[in-house]
Amino acid sequence: MPTVRKEDGAARPFLKWAGGKSQLLPAFSGCFPAELGRGGVRRYVEPFVGSGAVWLAVAQQYPGVELVIGDLNPALMATYRALQEDVEAVVAPLEAWQAAYWAADEAGRKALFYEVREAFNAGLARGDESAAQAARFVFLNRTGFNGLFRVNAAGRFNVPPGRYRRPRIADAPNLRRVAAVLRRTRIVAGDYRQMDRWIGPGTFVYCDPPYRPLSRTASFTAYIPEGFDDDAQRRLAAACRAWADAGAWVMVSNADPRNTDPDDRFFETIYPGFWFARVSARRSINARPDRRGPVRELVITSYPPPGVEAVRVFTPR
């Protein structure tokens, strides 16, 4: 599957996202089940959709496949629903903010950021799922530090402003293309376990959970207040086994612990019987530029991936 390029006129992720998969699409395509290209996959399910690079690629490369996406981040899913229902109501405030942001000096840009952030947090507190709240979400993503989404223990978005002069805040053509894909996509807000009813024979499931940190300072699991620890990884692995046993093709990505500890077999232990491939990635979101080099990521599948070298692990070790 080719990489989706801006000049293709195809929908692409409209959010910057820690762990986004746009750059990994060429490698990931070799990990998709062969049945996807043969017409054997009827439904694609992504329970941790994030910025949606893989969902958008599958949706546009295989237009006959039914699409189901979900995520535990309520603000993210409300943004997807707002785009699905009325994209122009999201675009309008973004265009106004972009004009104001570009015209402002550094102090003015910071003031606008904090004004929108305060309104966004007020919306979070009252469960606002409006187009205006979705626009705030996109604005903060495009102007916040490194595009991070992070909340504190109280559930308040606390990312500081980034230092940008002319960020692309309002990409109306792409938002409209994303909205067109969303109009044929089912959105399921909540925990991945709510996806059970959509998963069975003929289903391809791709899971991109919050990554297990490679170091104490490398974690992005503050995506939700509860985080995603090793026990959560184990529970997800059990769900993936159940989905595979139900007849689905299951694919999971995660950080490769062997980047920092060659003896770490955590994922081999919790996914016995699955296939393991390692692909090269570049971590683009890191506070230190010297740590944004290539690392390996794991792709774990319940089936032998057709286009990449993989090893099957039969027993925990």
**Structural domains of the chain sorted by starting position, each given as residue range(s) with its CATH number in brackets:** 6-72+190-312 (3.40.50.150), 76-163 (1.10.1020.10)
Q: Amino acid letter at 72?
A: L
The torsion of the CA quartet 38, 42, 48, 51, rounded to 10 degrees, works out to 70
Amino acid 288: pLDDT: 52
The pTM for the full model equals 0.89
Residue-wise pLDDT for 209-266, tens only, equals 988 876 554 444 444 555 688 999 999 999 999 999 999 999 999 989 888 888 889 9
Amino acid 284: pLDDT: 47
Amino acid 314: pLDDT: 79
CA 259 to chain centre: 22
For residues 107-118, average pLDDT: 98
pLDDT, mean over the chain = 89
Name, in order, each residue with C-beta under 8 angstroms of 126's C-beta and a sequence gap of 6 or more.
none
**What is the three-class DSSP state of 94?**
helix
Q: Would you say the C-alpha torsion 91, 97, 101, 104 has a positive or negative sign?
A: positive
- Name the helix (H) or strand (E) containing 279: strand 275-282
Q: Token digits for 216?
A: 């104490």
Residue-wise pLDDT for 26-83, tens only, equals 889 999 999 999 999 999 999 999 999 999 999 999 999 999 999 999 999 999 999 9
204 within 8 A of 33, measured Cβ to Cβ: yes
For residues 98-124, average pLDDT: 97
Amino acid 21: pLDDT: 80
Q: Crossing angle of helices 172-182/53-61, nearest 10°? A: 70
Amino acid 118: pLDDT: 98
